[in-house]
Structure 1
Amino acid sequence: MRAVDKSDLTGRARLRDAALELFAERGFDATSTRAVAAAAGLSPALVTRHFGSKEGLRAAVDDYVLDRIGTELEAVDGDAGLMESLGKVSARLFGADPVLRGYLRHVLMEDSAASADLFGRLLNGARTELARLSAEYGSRAPEGEWAAFQVLCLVLGPLLLERVMQPHHGEPMFDPQVLAQRSAANQRLLLQGLYGSPEDRSGG
């Protein structure tokens, strides 16, 4: 996304962006509305005016994050190779942006109704992208309810488990080159299967 100067943003957008950054750094519970207002350079009363409550502010941040993800995925050009193009966009969205990465990690790991709702919305997005991929690779379309969960786990797993995965990997988990390698490996897994399709295997 094109960076927008904070002075060009409305008060509501400045509060939302400040909340996104602070929630990404500290988590929702550890961030006060006063801290969000201070980071935005605005009065704490404006949080209530624009969002009603801290929970309303969080909902606005969730909507913004999901709209951003959805917009970028929808803009993917299938003519350039749908699987590869979606993989590159997903790697950038869920890996290359440290603020978005931190926000999703905090929200999805907090075990709340709001985090479950956000995961459900991400899951619906995964189902949408699977439908696009199935139309492109119809003969190899996945079956069953678990396909969307599996794709989402491939994308979100390193984001959520970065701290315990990193000691077992020689390079930073979200280094651009590592992201590209992991994205390519995920694409191979989705297209070919870890051991290939059953008809490719001999024996039981």
Structure 2
Amino acid sequence: MSSVSDLTARARIRDAALARFGADGIAGTSVRAVAADAGVSPGLVLHHFGSKDGLRQACDDHVLDSIRSGGEEGADALAEVLQAATPVRRYLARAFLDGSSGASALFTEIVDRTEAWLIDGEREGWVRSSDDSRARAVVYVSWLLAPLVLGDHVGRLLGGDPAETATAVRGAKAGLEILTNGLFADDRWLSAYTAINDEERSK
């Protein structure tokens, strides 16, 4: 049975890895660097996680668990990401760029939860209906996660790191203004793409 100190050391190592992976990526991070950041020996890292890949998996699982348990029932899964600690946002950005099974599972889960949230919104009257709820959720999630993945470019133009709360919220607010108030004054582009979509579906 693990002692309290073992559990504390494991969490400290995981948090150090979360920050280091977010900054340097999986390939650019060594077990020795994580150990130094956590103030433990490389041997203790391997004792708890077995390998660097095991450590990465623990970080993926931690982020997934945070998304599953965070927020109130029915809350937007994307809001949970935006409200998460900065190291988690940086880890997410790097995970989506580097690619991992955990990142794929995380993206799918966020889309699943967001799709359900938007469908609930339709029933409650605060979301407009859609004839393709899955595509709507995928595009919505992709749109709101894009600033994390395009961090350098977004940060340069908004004057702040999109992994930091202030810039993340600024970007989210701009997106929500578009979603709530609309952007185009007529339906010319919607009509054009609806016609193309109908044609593609009929093939």
TM-score by length of 2: 0.70
1:159 deviates by: 1.3
- Residues 132 and 47 of structure 1: CA distance in aligned 2, closer, same or farther (over 3 Å): farther
**1: distance between equivalents of 2:161 and 2:32?**
34
8 Å CA contact 2:121–2:127 kept in 1: the answer is no
* Amino acid corresponding to residue 165 of structure 1 in structure 2: V
* Amino acid corresponding to residue 87 of structure 2 in structure 1: V
- Residues 194 and 14 of structure 1: CA distance in aligned 2, closer, same or farther (over 3 Å): same
The equivalent position to 1:91 in structure 2, one of 78, 82, 92, is 82
Aligned to 2:152: 163
Q: Which of the pair has more CA radius of gyration?
A: 2
1:37 deviates by: 2.0
Q: Which structure exhibits the higher relative contact order, with contacts defined as CA atoms closer than 8 Å and separated by 6 or more residues?
A: 1
1:105 deviates by: 1.4
8 Å CA contact 2:160–2:167 kept in 1: the answer is yes
Equivalent positions of 1:65-84 (< 5 A) are 65-73=63-71, 75=72
**2: distance between equivalents of 1:173 and 1:12?**
29
8 Å CA contact 2:78–2:144 kept in 1: the answer is no
**2: distance between equivalents of 1:139 and 1:30?**
43
SS at match of 2:98: coil
1:26 deviates by: 0.9
**1: distance between equivalents of 2:125 and 2:80?**
19
* Amino acid corresponding to residue 83 of structure 2 in structure 1: R
- Residues 112 and 92 of structure 1: CA distance in aligned 2, closer, same or farther (over 3 Å): closer
Equivalent positions of 1:96-111 (< 5 A) are 97-111=85-99
Aligned to 2:201: none
Aligned to 2:115: 127
SS at match of 2:34: helix
TM-score by length of 1: 0.70
Equivalent pairs counted in the alignment come to 184
| CA-based RMSD | 3.4
Aligned to 1:31: 29
**1: distance between equivalents of 2:186 and 2:119?**
20
* Amino acid corresponding to residue 50 of structure 2 in structure 1: G
1:60 deviates by: 1.2
